Structure 1
């Protein structure tokens, strides 16, 4: 039975750094082109406050992102806010994730498999997507690989010194996203019931912890304490995941594709096929690698199964984007699968097929409207509007003014309520049009921006605007919102004002 390829630290580091640089270049290219997303507007909304105001906001909403917001505030306070500076940390995190996969693959598998796994990670559509958004997705993806790497190193070179780094990495993973803590049970089981080095049957239950395994296990336990406290603190903020729908047959059918390759089923099929080949190779080359299959398969599938189960029996929590931290396991299995192909031409074809398959979504991810249509809305308003035109909008749409101040001109927001700082929330409050009708007096031009999902309210409000003499046309429609321009003559405005006064 073959033995693992010798691990040469110098060559592995060179490969990891090379993959890091390649990934940063690939993910970073054009990352500044897409208009900022609404989630990125939440980041901007959070970091453009004083530290005291940020603390007050976190007591109301998004406490689970406290670590991310704090780090981004430090960074953006130094560098200033732009689309590039907002996304640069995510680009670097993607490079770090790919580089760490190279090291982890070289430890668990072979140096060749580790290199291929890092390259596979670099072209993964989920990775190239999270690298173009100023959110924590890329961060907790890299942190998950770091945690697994530290735990594996701790078992290879036992020492009590591993307690602190493993604890810090555990707190980092859970602090960046609580759901990432679903990786911890896999690591605990892997540590507590390791394979016998002599190849004897696996013992599932142990009365005592196997030698050399207690430092990383203690580190995991210590690190999960602040994560548990964070989750407990966030229990009163469940409203922030109200947008998640219960799992459906359609969403379940996409769990193996959309989690790793949004809108790119071909890439997902190729990746899972190479991962299956990697499992076959691991089954045939178990010497020195016992337990690796459990670790990688558990990392890849257990968090998703847990989220789906909880969503089905309790409350909806499953979202495909939340499982980005599982991509590292798929990349490692896929790297092993490609490395196991003996025919050079076939291995080359497989290695080339994955980046080619990712090219379509890579291009789409770097379109201006890849995330949201804020830039298009601003362009329409700038072209068709006047600087002082009043606006009626709602929280889903009003995020544009957070990311792009002045994008909707300098006119008043007629349905403005309490501002975001006063209400300790991400967004300004927006009132229904019926509550602010007196503010329409004398208005002859009006921009109306409405979320697509608010069809009932939009229908009623547009009907009322027409009763008040406005004529409107929809100038733009995206998956998220509609942009309408309403106008009326001075005479129509006068008659409408009389209706408002009479009402």
Structure 2
């Protein structure tokens, strides 16, 4: 079911800024790739490395770059189902299959997971690796076979290299192991130490690049609101369109309903320890980021904690199928949760991600013979949707490969503007309220108009401004 939901309308949302970064980073040689991640996006380096051969073989169309995410997320659904059935079997063997089916449905439609199946970014990879580590941990606690502990370390280390924030879940392994005897606790501590050592090179490289998240600006209240509603019940990227306002209301209802169900599950009694373990996966990373925010740090973004969403899936599946003894009541409750999740999933399939409509921008720019990208980052548009015949790019000084960057390095504006434009010409900038040359957009357009160019069309979205002009022949 997860695969079906992921592939329905998978090409409908336009490729957006972060996905363009995936294309740019993965569509280059190994040497240029090393140069790139040494200065930017090291936290996504493993994902880019995996996408390099994929793009070489299958190209960089929206379907191609999003298919790996859909496939990997589907594998995660299988692991979540197996975990749920294992937990349910302890208390109610006769309901294990029902619990597994519930988990499969919830995994497919929970907005906090569904968005990842249509996103060419590393988050589903990190989520599934964290799930595999979690499953290995359960096997190790039950069998005490060291091979499962080794698999845990490998899987969770991969999760961290796909999603750095997954490192916040590592202490949970040690805390739970404390209740299983001294020997088990010592082995879990050793595994945690191995994970710490394995993560250290990534952290040391990522620290100088932490300016990449400097754009994050949240208050403790907005963080709590995001953690309660957006993170799980809206999903990332849905911020406009006809579905957005209804989904915001529904997300609050779902958050309240989930809180009631969690409390009900604890009161009713079965699987209290399991529920506490599942809740710790959700609450502990959120609490860490909230404390960091209270002392002045800014590191919370809903998608960064996407790896915690499977814990909510398993928790809701167990409460509705095992903890609620009346089967009919539990299934009806499950049905209500599923139905309330559907509008957000539909909205995700219809959306322009974060109001970034690169497809429409490309439709305008493909007519241009010359494009003045006043900000290097605006080249993400033609990275996402390459022109059949690349336009002249007077602003480009060094290509992405030469500059070790995602979109190249620009020359000085005055140098690029020497002479008069001719033919169909476009001016593209990042929005004036974003970091860049947005304030120069009108000045450059006015300068071209003064030489005889006429404005043919313009477009503005959350990230870029584009203006198309027709200029006289020289």
In structure 2, the partner of 1:363 is 346
Whether contact under 8 Å (2:374, 2:437) holds in the other structure is: no
Q: Per-residue deviation at 1:345?
A: 4.5
Q: Per-residue deviation at 1:325?
A: 0.6
In structure 1, the partner of 2:300 is 318
In structure 2, the partner of 1:304 is 286
In structure 1, the partner of 2:400 is 420
Q: Per-residue deviation at 1:217?
A: 4.1
Partners of 1:352 and 1:395 lie apart in 2 by 48
- Please show how residues 246-261 of structure 1 align to structure 2 within 5 Å: 246-247=218-219, 249-261=221-233
Partners of 2:190 and 2:101 lie apart in 1 by 31
Q: Per-residue deviation at 1:231?
A: 0.8
In structure 2, the partner of 1:186 is 172
In structure 1, the partner of 2:377 is 396
Q: Per-residue deviation at 1:165?
A: 0.7
- Please show how residues 68-147 of structure 1 align to structure 2 within 5 Å: 68-110=47-89, 111=96, 112-147=98-133
Does the residue aligned with 2:298 lie in a helix, a strand or coil? coil
Residue deviations 1:404-424, cap 9 Å, x none? 2216x5331222232111111
In structure 2, the partner of 1:16 is none
2:7 to 5, 8, 28: 28
Partners of 1:36 and 1:120 lie apart in 2 by 26
- Please show how residues 1-16 of structure 1 align to structure 2 within 5 Å: none
Partners of 2:298 and 2:324 lie apart in 1 by 41
Whether contact under 8 Å (1:57, 1:425) holds in the other structure is: yes
1:172 to 142, 158, 173: 158
Partners of 1:461 and 1:88 lie apart in 2 by 37
Q: Over aligned residues, Cα RMSD in angstroms?
A: 2.7
Does the residue aligned with 1:255 lie in a helix, a strand or coil? helix
1:219 equivalent in alignment to 2:191: yes
Residue deviations 1:369-420, cap 9 Å, x none? 34631111122334xx35x24433423321122222216x533122223211
In structure 2, the partner of 1:245 is 217
In structure 2, the partner of 1:337 is 319
Partners of 2:395 and 2:376 lie apart in 1 by 11
Does the residue aligned with 2:202 lie in a helix, a strand or coil? helix
Partners of 1:57 and 1:162 lie apart in 2 by 35
- TM-score w.r.t. the length of structure 2 is 0.86
- Please show how residues 456-467 of structure 1 align to structure 2 within 5 Å: 457-467=437-447
Does the residue aligned with 1:309 lie in a helix, a strand or coil? helix
Partners of 2:401 and 2:71 lie apart in 1 by 31
Q: Per-residue deviation at 1:212?
A: 4.0
* Structure 2, unpaired ranges of 5+: 90-95, 235-243
Of 388-397 and 138-147, more deviation after overlay is shown by 388-397
Q: Per-residue deviation at 1:457?
A: 4.4
Change (3 A) 1:98 1:390: closer
In structure 1, the partner of 2:241 is none
Between the two proteins, the alignment pairs up a number of residues equal to 449
1:354 equivalent in alignment to 2:337: yes
In structure 1, the partner of 2:274 is 292
- TM-score w.r.t. the length of structure 1 is 0.81
Partners of 2:68 and 2:431 lie apart in 1 by 32
Whether contact under 8 Å (1:247, 1:318) holds in the other structure is: no
Partners of 2:256 and 2:71 lie apart in 1 by 26
In structure 2, the partner of 1:60 is 39
- Please show how residues 434-473 of structure 1 align to structure 2 within 5 Å: 434-438=414-418, 440-443=419-422, 445-454=424-433, 457-467=437-447, 469=450, 470-472=453-455
Does the residue aligned with 1:412 lie in a helix, a strand or coil? coil
Does the residue aligned with 1:109 lie in a helix, a strand or coil? helix
Partners of 1:165 and 1:378 lie apart in 2 by 45
Q: Per-residue deviation at 1:279?
A: 4.2
Of 175-184 and 268-277, more deviation after overlay is shown by 268-277
* Structure 1, unpaired ranges of 5+: 1-21, 195-208, 494-503
